[in-house]
């Protein structure tokens, strides 16, 4: 599974239609903090964890594993050497 930076997650949430203020309120930080993160600044672990949870809810398509995106092979195809 790909790991997203805080900057990428904020960018995705903004593209999803949330404002910096709405994101800030949901993760309990200031709007100024979100603006800094959007420009590439680091965030605290707790804020990053909350940001990731919101990102997973808003952008579930980004969390489809590679195993889910490929059809399962039947048993005879798996035993080919």
Asked whether 28 and 17 are in contact (CB, 8 A), the reply is no
Domain-embedded: residue 50: yes
Domain-embedded: residue 74: no
pTM: 0.77
Domain-embedded: residue 1: no
pLDDT mean values, one per 10 residues, the chain (81 residues)? 91 97 98 98 96 96 71 51 45
User: What is the extent of the structural domain holding 48?
Assistant: 6-61
Domain-embedded: residue 68: no
Asked whether 13 and 55 are in contact (CB, 8 A), the reply is yes
* Per-residue pLDDT at 1: 65
Widest Cα–Cα separation across the chain: 57
Count of domains for the chain: 1
* Per-residue pLDDT at 67: 60
Asked whether 10 and 59 are in contact (CB, 8 A), the reply is no
Domain-embedded: residue 27: yes
Domain-embedded: residue 78: no
Asked whether 33 and 43 are in contact (CB, 8 A), the reply is yes
Domain-embedded: residue 70: no
């Amino acid at each position: 599974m790909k790991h997203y930076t805080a900057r990428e997650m904020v960018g995705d949430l903004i593209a999803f239609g949330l404002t910096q203020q709405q994101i800030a309120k949901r993760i309990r930080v200031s709007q100024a903090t979100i603006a800094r993160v959007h420009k590439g600044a680091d965030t605290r672990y707790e804020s990053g964890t909350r940001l990731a949870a919101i990102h997973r809810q808003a952008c579930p398509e980004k969390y489809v594993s590679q195993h889910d995106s490929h059809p399962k092979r039947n048993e005879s195809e798996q035993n080919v050497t």
